[in-house]
Structure 1
Amino acid sequence: MSKIVVIGSMNMDIVNHVENHPQPGETIKGWGTAYHPGGKGANQAVAAARSGGQVIMAGAVGTDTFSGKLVSTLQEEGINTDFILEKDGTSGIAFITVDSSGENTIILSEGSNGKFMPDDLEPICRMMESGDVILLQNEIPWQTTEYAIQTAYSKGVRVILNPAPAVKVPKELFPFVDMLILNETEVEAITDKPVKDIDQARNAASQLNEWNIKEVIITLGKNGAIYRNQNGLELVTPSFSVNAKDTTAAGDTFIGALAAERVLGHPIQDCLRYATAAAALSVTVQGAQNSIPTREKILSFLKSMEK
């Protein structure tokens, strides 16, 4: 089976739960604090692994007390961690506040993630083969992500890019990206046009196709997701109605699950429905990686939705 190589961030998420998010200058009382391994790269790796993918993680942790837990958690999922480096200083840390409706705010301290440079990719790039897939995000230095995209393209490795946190991706890189998965905020950062509904998402996806991105998926939260490719195929996948407790890692769950399904060769419409179900299940559980469902749970959920 093709490998899924995730090149990206690993963070320790420090999560505080509150009734409502504080206003500027306001001090409020939290309901409790929890520590969860996270980071967009690691979350996507776990999601892909729990959906049956053969996953390799590449990135960096620090020399602090969080690093061992960040690596061992991935190993417990069967993820290859041979390409995770140790950098002096702190690991990545995300300070997350979740309100009673499940909506979150996040402050990211990149730590060791910001020290993962292009030269650090040499070992992982040597072992990538044509047919493999790499997943990339924006929580490591952009020059490292750019180098990974160019190298993957030269080796016939498929590139899935999730430009989050939002950044304006250089257009000259678009032909090297096989699939771009992004939300409304990230679409606006790239196209300079707001996306507030399905029609605007459809127009944005079409524009991104015209800019030489082969496949585009725009996630729209409660409004589901829209897919469009350069051949004009367009699919709108509705969301599932669930009781949301915490939206942390929902997007990462969608991406990792979709990548695993795509590697298994399933039709794109089935991949989208599967990934949407995975994301829906993730928001019903608090935390990041611990909220990501297994393949068995996702398939069981989909079967229940058919009744």
Structure 2
Amino acid sequence: MTEVASLGSVNVDRIRYRPTDRITELETTHSWFPTAGETVRIDGTPATLEFETAADESAVGGKGANQAVAAARASADVALFGCVGVDEDANGICETLADRGVDVDDVAVTDRETGKAYVFVDEMGESWIAIVGGANETLDRAYIDANYDRLQAVDVLLLQNEIPVPTMTFLLERFEADESRPTVVFNAAPAAGAESLLEREAVDYVVVNDAEYRLLEDTLAGVDGTVVRTRGGDDVILTGDVSYRATPPVADPIDTTGAGDAFCGYFAAALADGETPERAVDIAAAAGSVATEREGVQRAIPANADVLEALEGNDR
């Protein structure tokens, strides 16, 4: 049986490595541009992004896909649920994800282009991310109805805020009326529009970074579950049903883009494996820390052995 499922976004990442001053100029000039460590949703592709020269590289991404790969790297049996576009074959999306250990049998193909993410990374490894929904926006209630039995049967379900909120609300409402449902981990990224999902009883864990926490702080105070707050290289803080602090292994970051997704995938896999929330967050913090020492997102997600080695060193 599938242990972990990720219902979420699949994107083609357009990655740009730029000096901090150039990225800061974009941030101060354009109101839609994300802040450091933030992911924002934008409508269409602003001319500025097209003008900002060609991407240094392109890669398969999206928080849903990234977190599924992370759970697979953690040795979980994992399936991805989501939508890609007519350009899927050209980008080798499903083939790449399958090669990385993810079951993509239920990923739907729509008549829109696959979602895009414009990722800016500075020389310190900090990231700024703007996403265009594309095919992700077509994920609807009919898709949930068609896949509900599989989603309901997994041990842990990962959700992120890069697919339509009404679709996730519909699923969570069904879970709340179901005597048997998975543990739900919701990564509230992007933060905008996540408030209503934080109030759902079926959400057991909410994962946010510092930037997202500041934007959602008032709503997070009323979460009926556990809030997991990641803070870069500082302690991860758990509040709510579980109170705990986890210290990540010391890292020398070169690219923080995939750290949050590595954290979420490993956290879900550990919970599915029967670990306590405290142990699960220790493992996840180690995964996120190791990921920052490598460039990229999915390719930066560490293998289970590397995470366990970092964790062992951190326990000494």
Please confirm whether the aligned pair reaches a TM-score higher than 0.5, indicating the same fold.
yes
Structure 1's 128 and 139: CA in aligned 2 closer, same or farther, altered over 3 A?
Answer: closer
Distance (Å, rounded) in 2 between the aligned partners of 1:255 and 1:126: 23
Deviations along 1:213-266, whole A, 9 cap, x unmatched? Answer: 222211111222111243xx4111123221111111211110110110111111
Distance (Å, rounded) in 1 between the aligned partners of 2:307 and 2:278: 16
Deviations along 1:251-307, whole A, 9 cap, x unmatched? Answer: 111011011011111122221111001000111111110000111111122223345
Structure 1's 251 and 171: CA in aligned 2 closer, same or farther, altered over 3 A?
Answer: closer
Structure 2 gaps of 5+ residues are 31-47
Distance (Å, rounded) in 1 between the aligned partners of 2:169 and 2:81: 15
User: Which residue in the other structure is 2:217 paired with?
Assistant: 191
TM-score by length of 2: 0.84
User: Which residue in the other structure is 1:50 paired with?
Assistant: 73
- Find out whether 1:285 has 2:294 as its counterpart: yes
Amino acid at match of 1:13: D
Equivalent runs, 1:1-307 vs 2, <5 Å: 3-22=3-22, 23-24=25-26, 33-64=56-87, 68-130=91-153, 132-153=155-176, 154=178, 155-166=180-191, 167-170=193-196, 173-192=199-218, 207-208=221-222, 211=223, 213-230=224-241, 233-306=242-315
Structure 1's 58 and 222: CA in aligned 2 closer, same or farther, altered over 3 A?
Answer: same
Structure 1's 84 and 266: CA in aligned 2 closer, same or farther, altered over 3 A?
Answer: same
Structure 1's 116 and 131: CA in aligned 2 closer, same or farther, altered over 3 A?
Answer: closer
Aligned length: 290
Deviations along 1:187-217, whole A, 9 cap, x unmatched? Answer: 3333348xxxxxxxxxx6xx33xx4x22221
Distance (Å, rounded) in 2 between the aligned partners of 1:17 and 1:171: 33
User: Which residue in the other structure is 2:39 paired with?
Assistant: none
Equivalent residue of 1:82, what SS?
A: coil
TM-score by length of 1: 0.86
Contact 2:2-2:78 at 8 Å conserved across structures: no
Structure 1 gaps of 5+ residues are 194-203
Structure 1's 122 and 300: CA in aligned 2 closer, same or farther, altered over 3 A?
Answer: same
Contact 1:134-1:160 at 8 Å conserved across structures: yes
Distance (Å, rounded) in 2 between the aligned partners of 1:65 and 1:294: 26
Distance (Å, rounded) in 2 between the aligned partners of 1:214 and 1:143: 21
User: Which residue in the other structure is 1:198 paired with?
Assistant: none
Equivalent residue of 2:105, what SS?
A: strand
Contact 2:172-2:200 at 8 Å conserved across structures: no
Distance (Å, rounded) in 1 between the aligned partners of 2:76 and 2:257: 22
User: What value does the CA root-mean-square deviation take over the aligned residues?
Assistant: 2.5
Structure 1's 261 and 296: CA in aligned 2 closer, same or farther, altered over 3 A?
Answer: same
Structure 1's 99 and 171: CA in aligned 2 closer, same or farther, altered over 3 A?
Answer: closer
Distance (Å, rounded) in 2 between the aligned partners of 1:60 and 1:279: 26
User: Which residue in the other structure is 1:200 paired with?
Assistant: none
Contact 2:14-2:55 at 8 Å conserved across structures: no
